[in-house]
Amino acid sequence: MKYFSSDLGYSGYDDVSKFLSKYSQRDDVLFIASSNGDPRVIEILKSLDILQHFHKVYLSYDIEVSKPNKEFFEYILDDLMKNVEVLQNSSREEIFESIWHIGDELENDLEASGKAGWKSILIDRQNQFEELINKKDDESLAKIKLNTTLQTTNSIHDKVIKLDEKRFVVNNFDQISKIIGLDE
């Protein structure tokens, strides 16, 4: 238990730490963490030295619903709209224009958050997404394949796949600030 409640059982990525450090100090950005986990997630975030960058952490353990359930995302949005002063006078539609979910699982992160109305970014560090959409033949992935545009820079490490106006797949956090408009 102790091993998997700290950075002994996990390691962080430098691009995540750099991204959070750079943008979490801005007044126009609010970072939250959400996980299908229990309170050990808090200790892991502390041990990875990134907890301080998050306004709040939402755990399925505490809210008694987990991803990919749409209620997980609705709970978070409702809580933020009620408890974050700058969001209290905003409509859901206004918030959906600027709320993003970033995760590393196709179903639990990219698809589930999209079904809840959020914009989403899938982190594909192993470059498996293209292979996945070519192998799997279900209806939703077939639609993704048809509507996908591959945008790359000079490096395979900087791949961005734009699925539509609300969903992207990237290899690392270096592209995220451009996608969500933090560098404008």
Q: pLDDT, tens digit, for every residue of 10-40?
A: 778 999 999 999 999 998 999 999 999 999 9
Strand, coil or helix: what is 55? coil
pTM: 0.83
Task: Give residue 30's domain range.
Answer: 3-180
Q: In this structure, what CATH number is given to the domain that contains residue 108? A: 3.40.50.1000
* 3-state SS, one letter per residue, for 105-132: CHHHHHHHHHHCCCEEEEECCCCCHHHH
Structural domain tally of the chain? 1
Task: Give 38-75 pLDDT, tens digit per residue.
Answer: 999 999 999 999 999 999 999 999 999 999 999 999 99
Structure tokens at 131: 């292979």
